[in-house]
Amino acid sequence: MTCRRSRRTGASLALAAALAVVVAVAWITTGGRMPWAEADPAQSASALGSSAATPADGIPSRPGDAFPLTETYVYDGDTIEARMQEPNDVVTTSSPVRIRLIGIDTPEGTPSPECWADEARTHLAELLPEGSTVWAMPDAETRDDYDRRLLNLWTDDGRFVNLELVTAGDAEAIRVWPNIAFYDLLAGAQAEAEASGAGRWGACG
């Protein structure tokens, strides 16, 4: 009787030792994450906090590291002049600089205005009145061949200017590598503007 219990106890201990080895190997090979103890994806997203949050409508809010300029002149629907409030590594001068909005193109105003050129310029001037603060962020490249600064712009109250112009039918989305961070968003807005006949899409044929 005693011998039989001893054999059972020994077998139990051997089984426990084998399970411990299996668990230890699984722990090491999964970097401490056990397959049966994965976190709930919803809880994981919540734990990331606001850094992982995106606006419900998909419109990018003004980045926290955007920098302010003072708008001084609107050339046309996609180009302005502005002066840095505090020069930085992107725009090192306090003199006015010409800024080309990234990812959009509006009808030309010169030498003779194309259809909807005046309306596009007027809308941009309404979004960014002379003397107003405009917030800017670059993409991959910060200048074009004409030495214009290439920037995404937000109004002082947080509206994404590039997108506002496309949504209104003032501008079309253009893909110019490598500044394509918002191309898909702008292209989607253009498709909706065309479908509804907004702005130039309804007026210019």
Q: DSSP letter at 40?
A: P
**Rounded Cα gap, residues 37 and 103, in angstroms:** 45
For the chain, percent of residues with pLDDT exceeding 70: 73
Read off the pLDDT band of 205 (50, 70, 90): confident
**Rounded Cα gap, residues 87 and 77, in angstroms:** 25
Read off the pLDDT band of 107 (50, 70, 90): very high
Mean pLDDT for 56-83 is 94
Q: Is the dihedral of CA 117, 118, 119, 125 positive or negative?
A: positive
pLDDT in tens, 10-43: 445 454 455 444 444 444 444 443 333 333 333 3
DSSP letters for 53-88: ---TT-PPPPPTT-EEEEEEEEEETTEEEEEESS--
E-strand ranges in the chain read: 67-76, 79-84, 97-101, 104-105, 133-137, 149-155, 172-173
Read off the pLDDT band of 58 (50, 70, 90): confident
Which pLDDT belongs to residue 39? 33
Q: DSSP letter at 38?
A: P
Q: pTM for the complete prediction? A: 0.73
Among the ranges given (7-21, 59-73, 150-164, 177-191), the one the predictor scored with the smallest mean pLDDT: 7-21
Q: Who's near 20: CB < 8 A, 6+ residues apart? A: none
**Rounded Cα gap, residues 199 and 141, in angstroms:** 30
